Amino acid sequence: MHGARNDFILVDETEGVKVPEGEKADFARWACDRRAGVGADGVVFVRVDPPEVEMRIFNRDGSEAEFCGNAARCAVRYAVDVRGENVKVLRTLAGRHSVEVRGDEVRVEVPGARVEEVTELGFEVDAGVPHLVRLTERDPVRGARGLTSEARKIQREYAERGGVNVTFAAPAGDALRVRTYERGVGWTPACGSGVVAASIVYAEVFGAEHAVEVSTAGGRLRVLLDGPFLEGPAEVVYAGRLRGTPWRENSDHQR
């Protein structure tokens, strides 16, 4: 599945065989490998128990994240479109999120998202996962590679604190242009929690009151500030069946 081209392998653990808890990290490292596995930015494990769906997400380096906005929309879309369930709540390590499917788009609440501190490096924001938001005049969507060394330097500063996602945001025309260098992943076409974090900073600095339109390399997303809520598309690309346990044979090589 993908949400704004941020792609995930979604594993339904509602029924049948489950990936053992101690092997989920190895599974993610193998599955996300675009040459030796399936290929993705992360793996999402879901369990559907209407009216709720539970989601856990592992980055492609095997680390587990508390939340991911694009993965959240994918989990909800899967529960509704593939399993045919009417879900109203998403549960993640970051808490409970109200959700709603609105035509082609999925709306997910990110409760408690807020600016926690302003430092010399930028705005520290909790958007389900930690973000360091930097406002810039440079377009981060078109010029992300030129910001890589800056993003890595900031991540090293936060390494002992559990790491941080580095989000660059530039006001431009009718949309805020945003790109995130994610923990355990690197640059992705879109980062849902990064879009929320950047929108909260934008609202605080420039006075937006209701909604913020955001342009990413993966497409347009929208943040409704009363919540806040992240709104955007999510799509099933294809389905497959896993054969064997290839992640066990490849675990030593991946590390």
Q: What is the pLDDT of residues 28-69, one digit of tens each?
A: 999 999 999 999 999 999 999 999 999 999 999 999 999 999
Mark whether 191 is an active-site residue. yes
CB of 18 closer than 8 Å to CB of 86? no
Rounded to an integer, what distance in angstroms lies between the CA atom of residue 136 and that of residue 138? Answer: 5
> Which helix (H) or strand (E) covers residue 20, if one does?
none
| Average pLDDT of the segment spanning 121-135 | 97
Report domain 114-226's class. Answer: alpha beta
Given the residues 185, 191, 195, 198, select the one marked as catalytic.
191
Q: What percent of the chain clears pLDDT 90, i.e. is strictly above it?
A: 88
| Average pLDDT of the segment spanning 153-163 | 95
What homologous superfamily does CATH list for 2-109+234-254? Answer: Diaminopimelate Epimerase; Chain A, domain 1 (3.10.310.10)
Rounded to an integer, what distance in angstroms lies between the CA atom of residue 125 and that of residue 193? Answer: 10
- Residue 253 clears pLDDT 60, i.e. is over it: no
Within its chain, how far is the Cα of 97 from the centroid?
14
| Average pLDDT of the segment spanning 247-255 | 67
Q: Please tell me the predicted confidence (pLDDT) of residue 243.
A: 85
The per-residue pLDDT for range 78-104, each reduced to its tens digit, is 999 999 999 999 999 999 999 999 999
Domain with CATH 3.10.310.10 in the chain: 2-109+234-254, 114-226
Mapping DSSP to helix (H, G, I), strand (E, B) and coil, where does residue 86 land? Answer: coil
| Average pLDDT of the segment spanning 105-125 | 96
DSSP E strand boundaries for 86-146: 89-92, 95-102, 105-109, 114-118, 123-126, 130-135
The pTM of the whole model exceeds 0.75? yes
Mark whether 68 is an active-site residue. yes
The per-residue pLDDT for range 192-223, each reduced to its tens digit, is 999 999 999 999 999 888 999 999 999 999 99
Given the residues 68, 132, 141, 178, select the one marked as catalytic.
68
124-160-140-38 Cα dihedral, nearest 10 degrees? -120
Torsion sign (Cα): 177, 193, 225, 136: negative
Q: Please tell me the predicted confidence (pLDDT) of residue 142.
A: 92
What band does 254 get if pLDDT is binned at 50, 70 and 90? low
- Residue 250 clears pLDDT 60, i.e. is over it: yes
- Residue 255 clears pLDDT 70, i.e. is over it: no
Residue appearing with tokens 């808490």:
95
